[in-house]
């Protein structure tokens, strides 16, 4: 079947902008905040409302398309499975903790996968009215202006975006702390923005050189990874291999050289944990 990707893009862009109004109106209001995996993993009535609106409106236009969406997935307690079918991968609010605190870095992230390849990425921050978009092969844009990833090749000249929330997960904690420490010692600076999707957009527009965290889901990274690549950046598995959005490991950089330096640094950081564990018996 032939797909009119440009038409899918235009249609879902309009739906996304409309859904953004819910976030813009909600950010200053009282929210009902529930937790999922733990006290750091939040969800509000707005996450569910935005997701429902997006799925309902997209289904009306494209009834045969499938969805992988964060809150629906959480309710079903399912492991997300990607098929060859056209599938909209939706994070209704990326940066829920920011949203709950009224902190302005929060967005909708939507990607379209066809034959397991992401061909559309849309990330919209309705508070700052920043719309990041990419269609495969057509470059990356912020509010219709072309954006490009940084050309910086050395970590000592880089701004690196990381995450802190996963440090609450015992299996990830040691590695996150050691990798963060290693970056702190070398990089120009590190930033923890609280939105994976927006951090990837900042790599795409060259204001950050790298973004990394292990533990994310496909809806956190599907759109952002395409936007980084279309901006000329590189997206890898954080072990240095091929990126797979279903694998929970991501390293996005402006340049290949910087990515290589970070992969080596992360390997050394992880090896130091194993040594500590051996020394502690
Ligand atoms: P979310 O806001 O959609 O949950 C910082 O918390 C970043 O990590 C956000 O992009 C957040 O997405 C993502 N993230 C993914 N899984 C998370 C979890 N279990 N707890 C907190 N943040 C999570
Ligand atoms: Ca969440
Ligand atoms: Ca998310
Ligand atoms: Ca979310």
Asked if 176 and 268 sit in the same domain, the reply is: yes
* ipTM tops the 0.90 cut: yes
Residue-wise pLDDT tens digits, 124-138:
999 999 999 999 999
237 is catalytic: no
pLDDT of residue 103: 98
Binding site, annotated residues for Mg(2+): 70, 91, 93-94, 220
Per the CB < 8 A criterion, the answer to whether 123 and 223 are in contact is yes
Q: Which residue from 54, 94, 203 has its CB within 8 A of the most atoms of ligand 1, so it is best to mutate?
A: 94
Closest residue by Cα to atom 20, ligand 1, is 41
Domain that holds residue 203: 155-280
| Below-70 pLDDT ranges, the chain | 275-276, 279-281
Q: What is the pLDDT of residues 213-222, one digit of tens each?
A: 999 999 999 9
Q: Are 270 and 178 in contact (CB under 8 A)?
A: yes
Nearby residues of 46 by Cβ (< 8 Å), 6 or more positions away: 22, 23, 26, 31, 93, 99
Instruction: Say if residue 115 is in the same domain as residue 224.
Output: no
174 is an active site residue: no
CATH number at residue 69: 3.30.540.10
- Asked if 219 and 139 sit in the same domain, the reply is no
Domain check: are 201 and 167 in the same one? yes
Number of domains in the chain: 2
One domain, residues 138 and 236: no
Within this chain, do residues 51 and 126 fall inside the same structural domain, yes or no? yes
Residues 159, 114, single domain; the answer is: no
Return the pLDDT at 166. 81
C-alpha–C-alpha distance, residues 94 and 105, integer Å? 9
Q: 43 alpha carbon to ligand 2 midpoint, in Å?
A: 6
Same domain for 2 and 111, yes or no, is yes
Q: Which of 51, 71, 91, 214 is catalytic?
A: 91
Which pairs count as long-range contacts for 255-258, CB under 8 Å and 24+ apart, including other chains?
255/149, 255/150, 255/151, 255/152, 255/153, 255/209, 257/153, 257/154, 258/152, 258/153, 258/154, 258/155, 258/158, 258/209, 258/210
- Tell me which residues have their CB closer than 6 angstroms to ligand 1: 37, 40-41, 91, 94-97, 163, 165, 194-196, 216, 220
The pLDDT of residue 275: 66
Phi and psi based region of residue 3 (left: phi greater than 0; alpha: psi -120 to 50; beta: remaining)? beta
DSSP tag of 190: E
What pLDDT does residue 169 have? 85
Q: Which residues are annotated as a binding site?
A: 70, 91, 93-94, 220
> Do the beta carbons of residue 245 and residue 225 sit within 8 Å?
yes
Which residue pairs from 81-84 have beta carbons closer than 8 angstroms and sit at least 24 positions apart in sequence? 82/113, 82/116, 82/218, 82/246, 83/116, 84/114, 84/115, 84/116
Q: What is the pLDDT of residue 76?
A: 92
Q: Which atom of ligand 1 is nearest to the CA of 168?
A: 20
Q: Which of 146, 168, 203 is the last residue of a domain?
A: 146
Residues 109 and 83 reside in one and the same domain: yes
pTM of the model: 0.97
3-state secondary structure of 55: helix
Domain match, 170 and 133 both:
no
- Answer yes or no: 41 catalytic: no
Q: Does residue 122 sit in the same domain as residue 160?
A: no
The minimum-distance atom of ligand 1 relative to the CA of 97 is 2
**214 in active site:** no
From the CA of 196, the nearest ligand is 1
- Considering the candidates 16, 96, 133, 180, report the single residue annotated as catalytic: 96
Q: What is the pLDDT of residue 281?
A: 61
C-beta of residue 237 within 8 angstroms of C-beta of residue 231: no
């Amino acid at each position: 079947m032939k797909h009119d990707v440009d038409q899918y893009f235009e249609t879902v862009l309009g739906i996304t902008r409309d859904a953004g109004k819910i976030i813009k109106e909600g950010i200053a209001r009282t929210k009902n905040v529930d937790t999922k995996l733990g006290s750091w993993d939040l969800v509000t009535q707005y996450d569910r409302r935005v997701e429902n609106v997006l799925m309902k409106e997209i289904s009306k236009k494209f009834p045969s398309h499938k969805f992988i969406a964060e809150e629906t997935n959480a309710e079903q307690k399912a492991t997300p499975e990607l098929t060859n079918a056209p599938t909209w991968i939706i994070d209704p609010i990326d940066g829920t903790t920011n949203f709950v605190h009224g902190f302005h870095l929060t967005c909708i992230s939507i990607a379209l996968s066809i034959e397991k390849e992401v061909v559309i990425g849309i990330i919209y921050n309705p508070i700052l009215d920043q719309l990041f978009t990419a269609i495969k092969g057509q470059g990356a844009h912020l509010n219709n202006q072309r954006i490009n990833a940084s050309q910086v090749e050395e970590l000592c000249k880089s701004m690196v975006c990381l995450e802190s929330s996963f440090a609450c997960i015992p299996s990830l904690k040691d590695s996150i702390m050691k990798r963060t420490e290693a970056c702190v010692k070398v990089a120009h600076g590190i930033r923890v923005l609280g939105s994976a999707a927006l951090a990837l957009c900042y790599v795409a527009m060259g204001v950050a050189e790298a973004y990394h965290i292990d533990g994310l889901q496909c809806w956190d990274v599907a759109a952002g990874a395409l936007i980084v690549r279309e901006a000329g950046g590189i997206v890898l598995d954080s072990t240095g291999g091929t990126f797979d959005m279903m694998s929970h490991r991501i390293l996005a950089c402006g340049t290949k050289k910087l990515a290589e330096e970070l992969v080596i640094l992360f390997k050394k950081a992880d090896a130091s944990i194993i040594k500590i564990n051996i020394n502690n018996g």
